[in-house]
Amino acid sequence: MAKKKKSFRTKPRIPRGMQDHFAEAVLARRQMMGAIQDVYQRFGFDPLETPALEYVDVLGKFLPESDTPAGGVFSLRDDDEQWIALRYDLTAPLSRVYAQYHQGLPTPFRRYQMGPVYRQEKPGPGRFREFYQCDFDTVGTSSVAADAEVCAVLAECFEALGIGRGNYVVRVNNRKVLNGVLDALELPQDDFNSGQLTRLTVLRAIDKLDRLGAQGVRQLLADGRKDESGDFTAGAKLSPDQIDIVMAYVETSDGDRQAVCQRLQELVGNSAVGAEGVTEMRQIDDLLQAMDLGSDRVLFDPSVVRGLAYYTGPVFEAELTFEVEDEGEVRPFGSVAGGGRYDDLVKRFTGTEVPATGASIGVDRLLAALKELGKIGQSLQHKPVVVTVMDRDHLTDYQTMVGELRRAGIAAELYLGTSGFRAQMKYADKRQAPIAIIAGSDEFERQEVTLKDLALGQEMSKEITDREEWTSARPAQVTVKRATLAEAVGKMLAEQAG
């Protein structure tokens, strides 16, 4: 007897580092992004949408010595044999848009964009290959007023989301000031060909201040540091005097922004670029004061590095300062947004420098913070009222109810299953419906309908098994005239919202 051939079934799965998002997460993100969008538009930024796919050379992620794109991007060959890739951020597409359309765009060009980006990186806890960003940028002006405005936008976004003062801070540094300090130390410029990267090593050491502390940074500025696992990281090999100056720079942060500027002025010495950076920070402070943004909201913090090799001037990092428990340790929540001035990005298209500044909010990080604070959640008004079906001979009457509710601006759905009352109520609970509409033959005869407030009665409904028990218990329900259905539902929803 021949063996029965095994049937093949495809296993349902998604690629590593990707996520499915169900209604609660989608609605929470939409609620948060809507508040952020309102702030962006209030500051005069216009929306922009670009394709998820760009040419690899446009993204700037190509290895000339290889015939395949560099790591970090998801890529494929188009039918014309050109490499295309999923965007890894929203800034590279912006630079392409400005270079391509600048003659028809206003200058400065102010845009915001929200959407998913993709990184071909190893996924891990809280690290995904697809995630959302909310960017806003001003392209075409070198005015520090645009940089100061970045701080204001970030602060306003947090407050619009219910994150009050004392729970966030925007930290500001300037690439030019750091360059001035390194010039004052007479450190050589980095040479990637020879592998002489003293300045980059210093930057990487400073960037580890939060994690390693001052002593760990000092070790990395000197000969190097061995971690708990025994791995050794080579240091910048600075002298003790040079290390003292770098640490003095890093630890200059103070509640008085002008005092920080004065100290930085001393550290940059005779460096012209350093002096220029300090002047810009003084101007930013004046503008922040004019916008009523004190040091409780915006700090000058020289320890902010944020990939300074990419940025050309001011840099920003927005942190949430409320404490959370992480693997048994209590620590501040941390960074949720960052950005800076990048005057060289468009240059690779146009051949001329085009000044630009902006910032990006990490949607998933900020959403997690809002949930931690209890500041965001699924509004019951996003969920539909469920019209239950007690008597199938009245199906058209139930459908009429649904239509009336929708025309009144109320989200509503007709139960489309074939199950009985108990299953219908369980369905309404799973849908997180705010209200269930109940009407049987008797209600239709009396021209009445029963409204069950599920926001109040969810726990009680789990114990009720039939309609008779439901009617006798009457938890959080009211009977109204059929003609006033939409008005009564609207009133109950308003009470829930209140």
Q: What is the pLDDT of residues 210-263, one digit of tens each?
A: 788 889 889 999 988 888 887 888 888 888 989 988 898 888 877 799 999 999
Give the CA dihedral 274, 258, 354, 107, nearest 10 degrees: -160
With a cut of 60, say whether residue 429 has pLDDT above it.
yes
- The chain-wide mean pLDDT, for the chain, equals 88
pLDDT at 110: 97
Give the pLDDT mean for 42-65: 84
Instruction: Decide which of 60 and 2 is more confident.
Output: 60
Q: What is the mean pLDDT of residues 323-345?
A: 86
d(C-alpha 485, C-alpha 385), whole Å: 12
* Least reliable range by pLDDT among 7-16, 140-149, 412-421: 7-16
**pLDDT of the residue at 9:** 87
Confidence of residue 377 (pLDDT cuts 50, 70, 90): low
Mean pLDDT of 133-151: 96
Contacts (Cβ under 8 Å, ≥6 apart) of 256:
295
Give me the domains of the chain, ranges plus CATH numbers.
23-52+87-187+238-373 (3.30.930.10), 380-497 (3.40.50.800)
At residue 271, the 3 state secondary structure works out as: coil
**pLDDT tens profile 60-82:** 754 444 455 566 888 889 999 89
Listed in sequence order, the residues at least 6 apart from 156 whose beta carbon sits closer than 8 Å to its beta carbon are: 39, 42, 43
The pLDDT assigned to 464 comes to 60
453-463 tens-digit pLDDT: 998 765 555 55
Q: What is the pLDDT of residue 64?
A: 42
Query: Is residue 465 over pLDDT 90?
Result: no
The arithmetic mean of pLDDT across residues 389-402, rounded, is 94
Task: Provide the pLDDT for residue 120.
Answer: 87
According to the model, what pLDDT value does residue 63 have? 42
Residue 15: both structure tokens together: 């690629």
CB < 8 Å & 24+ apart, contacts of 184-193: 184/245, 184/267, 184/268, 184/269, 184/270, 184/271, 184/274, 185/238, 185/242, 185/245, 185/246, 187/238, 187/242
Backbone φ and ψ of 414, nearest 5°? -90, 135
> Over 50: is that where the pLDDT of 491 sits?
yes
